[in-house]
Amino acid sequence: MPHDRASLPTGSTSHPQRSGQRSDQRSGRGPRRDDRAGGRRPNRKGDRRSGGGPSQRRTVDPARKAAIEAFDPAGSVFTGLGVPEKVVRILGVDGIVEPTAVQAAVLPDAMAGSDVLGRARTGSGKTLAFGLPVLARLAGGRSQPNHPRALIIVPTRELAGQVSKAIEPLADALGLRMVTVYGGSPYDRQIRRLDRGADIVVATPGRLGDLVDRGACKLESVEMVTLDEADHLCDLGFFPVIDDLLGRTPAGGQRLLLSATLDGDVDRLVRRHLTTPARHEIDPDAGSITTMDHHVLVVGPHNKIDVTTDLLRANPRSIVFTRTKGGATRLAEDLEGAGVPAVDLHGDLSQRVRERNLDRFRSGQAKVVVATDVAARGIHVDGVGLVVHFDPAGEPKSYLHRSGRTARAGASGAVVTVATPGQARNLGELFRKAGVDAKNVDARAVDGAITPSSLTQAPTMAVPEPSRSAPRRNNARPQQNRRRRDNRDRSRGRAGA
C-alpha cells in the first residue's frame, strides 16, 4: 500500500496539494458556448439533453410490442386501481404488477381526484404514485398550444430528467405529449415544444416561472399540479416561486405534494394550496436507517484522502458527498489519479456534462460519483451499496437525505462518515437527532480492505464527547475586563477626590 494508514497524527495539517485542473472534456469548463446557461449548440434530431425530450416518437422493439399486446391486464393489481389498460400492459411487461407501499396508499385517493399529501423516502416508488394519476386524468384529452394540463415540479434538473424517463413511455402509449424544461438549456427549443402543445410539463421552478412570465407557458388550463420533493424545493428557496405558480393555476385543481418532511414552508404550501388533502406517511427517510449500517471512520487529518481512496477502491458503486463544488471536483480528480474511476456532479457543470457523468455511473464506467448535496438530490440510481460522507453532514436532515441514496426500495446498504478525531467528537449530537446509532472505528484498526463487513468486525473506538466547559482562554477574558473596570473606577475616584 503506497501510504501508511497506521499513522493518525494529532496535529493540524492542511490537505496535500492536488494535481491541476480538470480538462475541458471532463469538467465541462472552458470556451465552449454550449456549456454555458444561455449558449447554443447544433440541434440534433431526437436530442433529449436540452430540456425538451425527443423530437419524434420513439420506436418500439417488435418483440416488446408483441409482449405488451399479449399481456393480460387481469394479472396486474394496477387494473383494479383504475390505471389505463395500455399503461397496465407496459408496466406488466416490465415486471411491475403490484404497487409499492406508497403507490398502494396514494393511488386510490389520487385517482378519485382528491388532493394528496404524501411523506415517503427516495426509492419508494413515488414517481409512479403521482405519475399514474396524472396520466389517468389526462388520457383521451388534448392540450392547446402553450396550455399544459398538468405540471410536475421538481427541485433539480437531474430529477426532472429521471421523472420524464419514467413517465414518458407511458404518456406516449396514451397519446399524451410531455415537455421537460429546466435551467441551463436554451429557451428557444423549450418554447418551440410548448408552442406545439404539451399535455404534461415536467419542470424546475425557476425555468418554469421564466417561461410563464414570457407567455410561452400559460397556466389557465392546468388541472393537476404535482410537487415532488417539496421539502427540497423549499430548502433551495423556491417557496415564493412555487407559491406564485400555484396561485396562477385555476382554483379547484388537483394538487399532489410529496415530501420527506412536512413542516416549515412545506406546511405553508399545504395550508395555502391544498384542500382537505388525504395524508399518507409511508416509509419516510428516517425509516430507512434500519436497513443501513452506519460507521464513522476516524482518520488523521492529512491522510483522509488516502483512506477514502482505499475505502472506495474496495467498494465500487458508491456515492461520496462533499461540502463544496470545488471539493467534489478535486476529490474526483484524486480518485481518478489513484485508479478509481470517478465522476463529479455539482452545479458548476453544464447539464450536458452532468448527464454524461451520471450516465457513466449508471453504466458502470465510473465506479464512484462525488457530489454536492444539491446535485445529489437528483441521483436516483439503484444498486448503490455505499454512501460516504467525505465532508460530514451539517444537520440531521442532510445526513438522512444523503444516506438515502443507498438502501433503496428495501435493499440494505452502508453509510460511512470519514472524520478526523475532532470531527468525530462533534458528530454524536447529529446522530442522536437523526435517530442513528453509528459505530466509531479507528482506520488503523481495520484488518485488510475497508468494507462494511470489516468495519462491523473492527473494534469500536472510544471517542470522548466534546467538553461542555468553556475553554480556559475564554475564562480569562472576563477577569481582564474586571481588572480594567477596577482600574478605571480607581482612576475616576482619584480624579474626583
Q: Are residues 237 and 302 in the same domain?
A: no
| pLDDT > 90 in the chain, percent | 56
376 belongs to a structural domain: yes
Q: What is the mean pLDDT of residues 165-187?
A: 94
> Hey, which of 241-245, 301-305, 313-317, 478-482 has the most confident mean pLDDT?
241-245
pLDDT in tens, 130-142: 999 999 999 999 9
- Mind listing the pLDDT tens digit for each residue in 90-112? 999 999 999 998 899 999 999 99
Rounded to 5 degrees, φ, ψ at 428 are -60, -45
Q: Are residues 259 and 398 in the same domain?
A: no
Asked if 202 and 79 sit in the same domain, the reply is yes
User: Within this chain, do residues 291 and 243 fall inside the same structural domain, yes or no?
Assistant: no
CA distances from 311 to 132, 318, 453 (A): 40, 10, 12
Residue 15 domain flag? no
Q: Is the sign of the CA dihedral 287, 156, 222, 135 positive or negative?
A: negative
User: Does some domain include residue 184?
Assistant: yes
Q: Are residues 162 and 243 in the same domain?
A: yes
**Spatial separation of the C-alpha atoms in residues 120 and 137, rounded to whole Å:** 23
Domain-ending residue, one of 283, 298, 332: 283
Give the tens place of pLDDT for each residue, 14-67.
444 444 444 444 444 333 333 333 333 344 333 433 344 443 445 668 999 999
Higher pLDDT, 166 or 489: 166
Is residue 144 one of the residues assigned to a domain?
yes
Average pLDDT over residues 235-243: 92
Q: Do 269 and 314 lie in a common domain?
A: no
211 pLDDT above the threshold of 80: yes
Q: Which pLDDT value is given to residue 120?
A: 74
Whether residues 296 and 247 share a domain: the answer is no
Instruction: Answer yes or no: is pLDDT of 260 > 70.
Output: yes
State yes or no: pLDDT of 492 exceeds 60: no
Residue holding cell 406564485? 244
Give 411-427 pLDDT, tens digit per residue.
668 999 999 999 999 99
Over residues 424-451, mean pLDDT:
91
Of 263, 283, 303, the last residue of a domain is 283
**Is residue 152 located within the same domain as residue 66?**
yes
Residue 400 has pLDDT above 70, yes or no: yes
pLDDT for 391: 94
Where a domain ends, among 239, 255, 283? 283
- What local confidence, expressed as pLDDT, does residue 423 receive? 92
If asked whether residues 301 and 257 sit together in one domain, one would say: no
326 domain-assigned? yes
d(CA 427, CA 438): 9
Considering only CA atoms, which of 257, 223, 219 is closest in space to residue 136?
223
- Into how many domains does the chain fold? 2
**Is pLDDT above 50 for 395?**
yes
Q: What is the pLDDT confidence band of residue 461, given thresholds at 50, 70 and 90?
A: very high
Taking the model in full, what pTM does it have? 0.67
CATH number at residue 433: 3.40.50.300
pLDDT at 470: 45
10 Å Cβ neighbour count for 199?
Answer: 23
Find the domain containing 213 and state its range: 45-283
Which residue pairs from 37-40 have beta carbons closer than 8 angstroms and sit at least 24 positions apart in sequence? Answer: 37/183, 37/184, 38/186, 38/187, 39/186, 40/186, 40/188
90 in the same domain as 227: yes
Whether residue 347 sits in one domain with residue 253: no
Q: Between 66 and 397, whose confidence is greater? A: 66
For the ranges 335-344, 346-355, 399-408, the lowest mean pLDDT is seen at: 399-408
Give a yes or no: residue 494 inside a domain: no
- Do both 72 and 210 map to the same domain? yes
- Measured CA to CA, the distance from residue 207 to residue 185 in angstroms comes to 9
